[in-house]
Structures are given as C-alpha cells and as structure tokens.
Structure 1
Amino acid sequence: MQIDSINWAILESLQKNARESFSEIGRKVGLSSPAVAERVKKMEDAGVILSYRTKVSAHKTGYQLRAVITLKAFTGRLKAFLENIKNFKEVRNCYRITGNENIIMEVVLHDQLHLERLIDKLITYGETRTNIVLSNVIEDQPIQQRIL
C-alpha cells in the first residue's frame, strides 16, 4: 500500500490520539469524515494500522519499578525462553537482538523483591544484566513520514 501525505497526516493524528473523531481528523487533513474512515479502513486492511490500545500508567497501578534486563541465553535454552516469555506478566516488551546478549526486555515491577523473584526465574535460561530505569526521555515516539 502506498502511503501518501494525507495518509501520513491521518496516521500522525491517530498515533497522538487514537480516539480522535474522523470528522476532527478530516478537518485537519481537508477530507470528509467518510473519506477519512475509508482511508483508515484501507490502512487497517493492509496491515499498516495494527491495533488501537489504551495506555495505562504502570506507576499509578502499583508498579513502582521499571527495569531493562538483557539475557545471554545458555546453550540450548533460548528456544525454551522464547516459548515461555509470554507467561512472564512483568515483561512489557521483549526483543531478540544481535550482539553479546540474545534478548532485551522492558519490565515493570512492584518493588526490589519482585525484581529479585523475576531474576531468579530468568537465570534458569541464561545470564542476566539488569538496569533500573530512572526516567523516560522519549516514550512511544510516533512513526513519521521521512523527509528526504
């Protein structure tokens, strides 16, 4: 699917506020509400728009600690880790990466004891390295049209 400048403007609006009405987006991009709805539907069908989500504050829901953990899997343990990682409710994001480690995860935890229990589970799969997050510098940066 070709994403033209109008579709990019629609995507930028939806990434900032997925609940924004099609009529409001239409006012911004110079289209009618039905025309915006049709473009959004086409982008959904093409897999450009994957989902709509509610962003929840980890801190306000009792998760006071955020960390980034890398894992260097033991020989023969990576497959088992990949099969089980979805069962770790603390893991918000998990990426398979290149370099010395195989995995990098963003996790949210209640406290240091919770972190210790999670690490105890993870070390059955490999060697971990943990970094505590102090603050967010950029969070959920929207995907934007490249300017060449």
Structure 2
Amino acid sequence: MDRIDVSMLEILQEDGRISVSDLSKKLNLSRPSVSERMIRLQEKGIIDQFSAVVPPAAVGRDTLLMIQVSELKDTIQHFEKMIAEDTRVLECHRVTGEVSYFIKAAVEGMESLRELVDTLISYGNINTSIVLKSPVERRKILPEHREEE
C-alpha cells in the first residue's frame, strides 16, 4: 500500500458513503483510478465491507457490557454456537490466559442484563462489567508504518 491507499482508507473510514467523485477530488486522482484502487483494496481483503454504524443506545440498547467467561463448562463448539446466535452479543473473542472469552454485549437495561447473565452462567464463570464511558471507540485502522514515496 502506498500513501494514496492509506489516505483512501482514512477517508473511507471517516465517511464510507463518500462518492467516488468526491473521493477522487480529495485524493487528486481520476475517478477511474480511485475506483480501480478501491476494487484492488477489496480484492486484497484490506477493505472487508461497507456498513452503517448504529450506536446501540440509538436502538434502545443503552447498557453496554464487557463480559469475561472463564472455566468453560461446555464444549467450545456448543458455547460458540450459542454466542453466535445471541443478538445481544456484539463481539466475542476467544483469548489466551485465565479468561477464555471476552464478550461485548449491548442490552436494554438491567432486566435484559440479568437474562444474559442467567444464560451465560451455566457455561462457566462469568465476570460482567458495565461500560461507563468509551474514550476510544471505532478507531480508524491504518498500517502502523506508512510507505514513503
């Protein structure tokens, strides 16, 4: 990736709905060149998808949670299938160390939180934290070392 690709990634992460015409103006490139670069970045898997960002609170899910699951009491396959089907779960990461999984979930309040904990408790030891504030959220992802031209 060159500096133009990196700039394109930065702009697209700020505004995924930007038109090719506006993007070409910002990058000082022709529209066909911008389109070609976007296709190449998608083919390489650098751009995975374009999607809308919906804050959970905007749809009534105003309680954001971080959940640690340790000492799993069920098979990994069964647990991961259950987690994948639970729409309250936003992210789930299997990790190394004493904790087996980190789960990010969004619920509609304390009753929904209790129901989620009740569901998870049969799978292992659960440690739930309510997110008070997110000082870093959806950071742009760019290469750590930018190629110089």
Question: In which range does the TM-score fall when normalised by the shorter chain?
Answer: over 0.9
What residue identity is the alignment partner of 2:68?
A: T
**Pairwise mapping of residues 1-148 of structure 1 onto structure 2 (< 5 A)?**
3-147=1-145
Q: Where do 5+ consecutive residues of structure 2 fail to align?
A: none
Identify if the C-alpha distance between structure 1 residues 24 and 13 changes in structure 2 by more than 3 Å, giving closer, same or farther.
same
CA distance in 2, matches of 1:74, 1:138: 30
CA distance in 1, matches of 2:128, 2:83: 17
SS at structure 1 position matched to 2:8: helix
Q: CA deviation at 1:76?
A: 4.5
Task: Check whether the contact 2:67–2:127 (CA below 8 A) recurs between aligned residues.
Answer: yes
Task: Check whether the contact 1:77–1:126 (CA below 8 A) recurs between aligned residues.
Answer: no
CA distance in 1, matches of 2:75, 2:123: 5
CA distance in 2, matches of 1:136, 1:26: 33
What residue identity is the alignment partner of 1:103?
A: Y
| Segment drifting more, 74-83 vs 45-54 | 74-83
Q: CA deviation at 1:32?
A: 0.8
CA distance in 1, matches of 2:131, 2:74: 30
Q: Where do 5+ consecutive residues of structure 1 fail to align?
A: none
Segments of 4+ moved more than 3 angstroms: none
Task: Check whether the contact 1:22–1:33 (CA below 8 A) recurs between aligned residues.
Answer: yes
What residue identity is the alignment partner of 2:101?
A: I
CA distance in 2, matches of 1:122, 1:29: 48
Q: What's the RMSD between the two structures over aligned residues?
A: 1.4
Q: Quick one: higher RCO (CA 8 Å, sep 6+), 1 or 2?
A: 2
Task: Check whether the contact 2:72–2:100 (CA below 8 A) recurs between aligned residues.
Answer: no
Task: Check whether the contact 1:78–1:125 (CA below 8 A) recurs between aligned residues.
Answer: no
Identity in percent: 28
| Segment drifting more, 103-112 vs 68-77 | 68-77
Q: Deviations over 1:12-63 (max 9, x none)?
A: 1101110011122212222011110110011111111100110112112111
What residue identity is the alignment partner of 1:82?
A: E
